[in-house]
Amino acid sequence: MESLAVVDDAPVSLVVHRRVADHDAAAFQRWVESSGKALTAVPGYLGSTVIAPSEERADWTLVQRFSNAAAARSWLASPARHASHAQIDELEIIDEDIAMFREDPTHADDGVSVILTSTVPDALEDEFLSWQARISEAEARFRGFRGHRVQRPVAGIQPQWVVLVTFDTDENLSTWIESDERARLLGEGGRFNADLTVKKTSVGFGFWNARAETVRESVMKNNLLVLMALYPIVFGWGYFVSTPLFEGPHAIPFWLSLFVGNFVSTQLLGWFVMPWVFKRFAWWLAPKPGWRAQVLGFGILLVVYAASMACYAWLLSLVA
């Protein structure tokens, strides 16, 4: 078991859990995508990981990495953060909490975790740590156990103690959570459980390495949408611009033509095309859109793919 105090010279991660009402899920997802831009200019910001809800977990998990605790506190108190969060004031946020963790490179593996928070009186701190040590010893006897971390309260950020328990799989974690041994230990520490909260998350001790998985389905859909937009741009550039201008007696080298084409394509995608596409397909990218929306979204993609390829084949036949 580890007991960690957050120190100002060590990288830290802010782990934010939010549960959003279903009817506001799409709006919240759009806010998550746009709000990340506000962080890029923050001193000490290292990167973020976003984990959307799944069938097993209802919360959004945002992991924001900073070079030290001072940089994280500065962001939490900044006008830019307050302005960003004002954009979701009208959304129904059912539950929200935030915790700060000091990064520890000795734990590089991802896994499945529960985050437990509890208020502990100062006079009972030693008893609480002793109780956590007994729990950690019991956890170590269960299959798949990876770690038990105890995080002290952080002034101005989290008044509670935070415990992060990680196992390799959700099944092994559930075996421990539902075990008689854990129930017995919780009974022994009943005085620490008055305001105990338990949240399951898909990140383990490796979340600060930005390797925690985002929802695979969302990544797949994003990639399919990019392909849908990229293919017409590439063949359009090649047919209407590259061939007439860059071939013939005054042609520039192929490697330069390829670079120019890729440069134009990426700029069009990043600045104009993909923001428009993602906005139009927000209903399909939303978590749990329903089977009808799933079928419609994939159906639209197949139609656009087929139409794009048919159009390109027809254009090529004209010059054959």
* Residue 29 near residue 217 (C-beta atoms within 8 A): no
| pLDDT score, position 301 | 95
Tens digits of residue pLDDT in 39-60: 777 888 887 777 777 666 677 8
Query: CA–CA separation, 269 vs 229, rounded Å?
Result: 7
Tens digits of residue pLDDT in 160-194: 787 888 887 888 888 998 899 988 998 888 887 76
- The answer to whether the predicted template modeling score (pTM) of the entire model surpasses 0.75 is no
* Residue 166 near residue 205 (C-beta atoms within 8 A): yes
pLDDT surpassing 80 at residue 251:
no
pLDDT surpassing 70 at residue 148:
yes
From the list 67, 73, 69, the residue with the least C-alpha distance to 4 is 69
Domains detected in the chain: 2-209 (3.30.70.100), 216-318 (no CATH)
